[in-house]
A and B are shown apart, each in its own frame.
Chain A
């Protein structure tokens, strides 16, 4: 069970990372996260099956396109709404719904729609048989984290990201254009989301309903961990990942989907800023 829990946690972390980055930098809660995820998977499938492109290319292209859509979404819609948090949420939410329901009405359902695993073999670790796909997921997750860390801490754009994340007005006065940075952060977040989709979807079937689930999971992890902290995201995904694995093995597998929801509710009631969150404002009791 430990192993499953670990893998589950990494999966959750990957899913949540895109959302966390977008929110951490531009304060935009991208509620179309689920939509982008499924879109990433569907595009990959399309390129793979219909156009016969090699896997790498199909995935890469899909990720880029989703990133582009994220960027466009910012440029066209969100840039007019900066600062009006609720309007941003409603807009991104509606974009997500448009994507998901559009895909649903186009009939993306059923066994036909699945992206294949990268390598179709298994390996034994700690006495548990694991598909290579899962190992790849963990590996990719680690690589991604390292890459992000380097990017954020050691490049100029990364520095700009951190500046905008911490204080938008000051960044303005130093010559950083927060709109552009927010746009890029949205693109980056969406691309990571699509990458997660490419990695994880081969484990199952592409289903539109899962899109909403993805959003919930990302929200749960980010809220529990604290919306502005990457460390929080990691810790939270491990906590939820293990609780889910535990529930599925010992209690009942159909209750898995309740776990992230219930934990999110619990945290919001006890400590709304999350385990590692830093928002003083939320602590106020009004």
Chain B
């Protein structure tokens, strides 16, 4: 059975069909990339899957359980974690305290696997994703963190939640090549640990290096699905991105 199965998901905003009968499935332990030009409904799809928007019709089935229309926190507690496109940390709190918040969730309490005080746990996670431990950076208010660190903080949240399915919404946006190169291994490590990942991305080159399968959306409809190489050969995909067939 597919780990995550989406059936005919549809969402309309006052006359504009943002997501139009999109269906796809994701196998456990794989990385699915979702690409498409701006306005194709990628983030809306993510919101629909993770419970931040209620679909007009269609189903979201996770681990054989229908989670359509459940609230976002419930879905998170069932094992789906997500990052946000517009990164906004908890500005007033120190960086590591940002992570203490998810440690309060029922999921973390239930899964255990975290030993020790929340503070030191948070610092451990931060170290794992690239914050230098001995520096004072984790203790400073999150408002001073540069963009690369903020993205890592977003990642840290899903790691803290020990999510089984992670949805990254434009994680690579705004990062330098070096930063992307240092984050990609972390994503591959997550896959190696058995997590399932969906990545919505614009940076195709970096995405194609790690994705097992890619799906293309255009104006709310799925227009292609397959391995990265096959996708880029399809004329409909080229047309969607470039507006003209090459």
Residues of A within 8 A of B (CB): 278, 280, 283-286
Contacts and interface: CB of A to CB of B under 8 A. Distances in A.
B72 A283 contact: no
Contact of A278 (B14, B47, B53, B71): B14
Of all A-B residue pairs in the complex, the 3 with the closest CB atoms, nearest first, are A280-B13, A284-B52, A284-B53
Interface string B44-58: 000100001110000
Given A284-B47, A285-B53, 7 more contacts: A278-B14, A283-B13, A283-B53, A284-B52, A284-B53, A285-B54, A285-B71
A285 B52 contact: yes
B13 A286 contact: no
B14 A286 contact: no
Nearest to B69: A285
Contacts, number: 13
Interface of B: 13-14, 47, 52-54, 71-72
Q: A-side binding surface: helix, strand, loop or mixed?
A: loop
Contacts of A284: 47, 52-53
A124 to B, nearest CB: 44
B149 to A, nearest CB: 24
Contacts of B71: 285
Contacts of B47: 284
Contacts of B13: 280, 283
Nearest to B16: A280
A286 B47 CA distance: 11
B12 to A, nearest CB: 11
Contacts of B14: 278
Contacts of B52: 284-286
Contacts of A283: 13, 53
Nearest to B53: A284
13 contacts: A278-B14, A280-B13, A283-B13, A283-B53, A284-B47, A284-B52, A284-B53, A285-B52, A285-B53, A285-B54, A285-B71, A286-B52, A286-B72
A278 B15 CA distance: 10
Nearest to A273: B14
A283 B13 CA distance: 9
B60 to A, nearest CB: 15
Nearest to B73: A286
A283 B55 CA distance: 12
A277 to B, nearest CB: 9
A278 B16 CA distance: 11
Contacts of A286: 52, 72
Contacts of B53: 283-285
B13 to A, nearest CB: 6
B55 to A, nearest CB: 12
Nearest to B18: A280
